Amino acid sequence: MAREREVRIAAVGDLHFDTGPPQGFAELVAGVNREADVLVLCGDLTTHGRPEQTAVIARELRAIDIPILAVLGNHDHEGERVDELADGLRAAGVHLLDGEGVVVEGVGFAGVKGFAGGFGRGTLAPFGEALIKAFVQHAIDEALRLENALRTLDTLTKVAVMHYSPIVETLHGEPETIYPFLGTSRLLPPLETHGADVIFHGHAHNGSPEARTPSGIPVYNVALPVLRREGRYYRLWSAAAPERRRKAG
């Protein structure tokens, strides 16, 4: 039987870098360098996606000594300069996930931004004006990209990373009128069908810290304001990975 080892994953979203690091960033850096093997960033890394904000976060992330994976959020798209933001993050050593699956430290990670659209019977349907159809199609496309990313992974543990929520339960605490703008259950079938072991998302600053999908997959809302309410700067989760093979000789 193959032996397993523990890989510690730190997750946080909604850092919202502007002209400087957010409150608690120094504690976040010190903590993840000490306690974690991988850092996952769940979108809204910047406030408006402007080049000066990209430069700040790229500079500050260089203080982190472990692998970093990230997805973008709606705020990162605000400045309509996503390519520049992505290039800056990659130059800082961040592995940006946008519909891809990647293996780090023996753990599989699948990441997408996700999108809005509502939940259950309240999910927006592709009917009526072309703008509505395009809106819904983007949510469908994000779900398909998540499915493809998960499908490529053949690892002991699969971690799903996104900005928008796939379930309504981690939105509790937000006004119900904005639930449809915070996520969509269109993201849920790929997660349950292709065996995600844990799901991290952000976006819901006033939401609930954790819940489970109908099949029991743990879902963590790691928006920094949610974590701060609990007196922490990141969520730590342990994944199982195969033990590293020792080199012969």
pLDDT of residue 249: 44
For 126-168, the pLDDT digits (tens) are: 999 999 999 999 999 999 999 999 999 999 999 999 999 999 9
Q: What are 8-54's pLDDT values in tens digits?
A: 999 999 999 998 888 889 999 999 999 999 999 999 999 999 999 99
CA dihedral 70, 152, 196, 219 (to 10 degrees): 20
pLDDT value of residue 24: 86
| Residue 3: per-residue pLDDT | 81
pTM comes to 0.95
All structural domains of the chain? 4-242 (3.60.21.10)
Residues 115 and 157: their CA atoms lie apart, in Å, by 24
Tell me the per-residue pLDDT of 202-231, one tens digit each, with 9 for 90 and over: 999 999 999 999 999 999 999 999 999 999
pLDDT of residue 145: 97
Cα torsion 120, 122, 125, 131 to 10°: value is -130
Mean predicted confidence (pLDDT) in 96-101: 96
Q: Quick one: pLDDT at residue 247?
A: 53
The mean pLDDT value of the chain amounts to 95
Q: For residues 83 and 18, give the distance between their C-alpha atoms in angstroms, rounded to a whole number.
A: 18
DSSP annotation of 120: G
In a 13 Å sphere around the CA of 183, the CA atoms on its Cβ side amount to: 28
Q: Give the position of tokens 């992974």.
A: 153
Residue 116: the pLDDT is: 98
